[in-house]
Chain A
C-alpha cells in the first residue's frame, strides 16, 4: 500500500492508503478527524467539503493519494485552540444557521472558501456558491444570513423567514 503525506490543519500527517482510499476516509478513519462528514458519498451534498491547497473540494470525490504534498484544511482548524469560534461559526450560531448540524462542516468550509475569494458577496452570490451544499433541514435562509453577517454586512433587510 502506498504511503501518503500531507499537511492537515497545519500539521504533518501521513499514513498508508489503498489506491481507492478517499481523502475523506483518510481524514476520518486514519487521522480521526471526524468533523468532516460523509452525507451522500456521491459528490452531491457537500457535507464533506474541505480545502485542498486553499480550494474547496468534495473530499468524498478525491483520492487520498492525490493529496500527496497538499495543504488540507478541515472544519477542525476553524475554531481557535481555546475553543473560540471562527467568525463564520459564530455567525452560524448567532443566526441559527444550523438545525441538525450534519451539513454544517461543509457549509462552513464552503462559506470560508467563498469569503476568501469574495469578501463581500451578495445574497445571490452566496446562494449560487452554495449550489453544491445541501441542507436536508432546508435551513438555507439562515445559513445565507449567517454568511452575510460573517462577511460584516448588514442582515437586517433579510426577513426572518
Chain B
C-alpha cells in the first residue's frame, strides 16, 4: 500500500469537512477498498474512515413504512435487524463470510457499485431511495455502470430507504471463490407492479429486466416467464462463465426467485 493519512471523524459534519481535503476518499468497512489499496489499484492521499460516525448507523422504520438503513450499517447488522424485509435480511446474511459481514457496510457496497455485488440488486429492485449528505437519489438514477454511481466527490451515503414489498426474494448463483454473485436476481412485488433487478451479469452493472417485470406484473408465477430470455451480448464473459451462460442463468435465477417468493 502507498502511504496515506487517515482520519476517523466521530460526526457526519466532521466527515464532510475531512472529505473536503484534496484527494480524500471515504472508507466504509474497507472490505473492498483495503484489498484494492494493497494491490495499489487506489492511491488516495487521505482516507476518511466512516466507521466512527454513529449518525449513519442503524435501522429504523420511516414515517411511510419504509425500512431505513443507515449507510454505515454492517451487513451483519442488516442480516440481524432487517426482519421487516426478510428478503433483504437474507441477502445481507449471504454476502462474503461472517467476518466480512461484521465490517462491510451497505453504503460502502453501494458507493463502490461492484458489478457482482448483491446490494445494488436489492436497491434497484426495491426502487429504494439513496439518501446522501447532499440529496435524495432514486435507485433508477443512482447506478451508472460498472463501479460508477451518480455520487459526487465527498458525498456520503447516510441512509437507504427501502419500500417494503408484498413479496420478494433474492437468488444468488455464487462464484464460490469470491462469494460474489456470478448472477444474482432480486424480484420484488409491490401493489403497483413487479421489479426485477439483475447483478453479476451485465458489463453495465446492475440492471432491470423490464420484459420479466411486465410479465410478472400480469401474473406473478414462474410460468409467466416462459419463453423470455436475454441475449448474451453485453454480458460479462470470463473464466467463470460466458456471456451466454450468464444470460441463461438470469432467466433460471429469476424463475427460482419468483417460485421462492411464493
Query: Which A residues form the contact surface with B (CB < 8 A)?
Result: 2, 18-20, 22, 41-43, 46, 49, 52, 55-58, 61-63, 65-66, 68, 110, 113-114, 129, 131-133
Contacts and interface: CB of A to CB of B under 8 A. Distances in A.
A62 B197 CA distance: 31
Nearest to A63: B6
A49 B99 contact: yes
B34 A19 contact: no
Contacts of A62: 30, 34, 103
B98 interface: yes
A49 B100 CA distance: 10
A62 B3 CA distance: 15
A49 B98 CA distance: 10
Contacts of B3: 18-20
24 contacts: A19-B3, A19-B4, A19-B47, A20-B1, A20-B4, A42-B38, A43-B31, A46-B97, A46-B99, A49-B99, A56-B99, A57-B99, A61-B30, A61-B31, A63-B27, A63-B30, A63-B47, A65-B6, A66-B8, A66-B49, A131-B98, A132-B97, A132-B99, A132-B100
A43 B6 contact: no
Given A19-B5, A20-B37, A56 B30 contact: no
B49 A43 contact: no
Nearest to A106: B99
Contacts of A46: 97, 99
A94 to B, nearest CB: 25
Contacts of B97: 46, 131-133
B8 A58 contact: no
Interface string B76-117: 100000000000000000001111101100000000000000
B102 A66 contact: no
A24 B99 CA distance: 14
B210 to A, nearest CB: 34
A27 to B, nearest CB: 15
A113 B34 contact: no
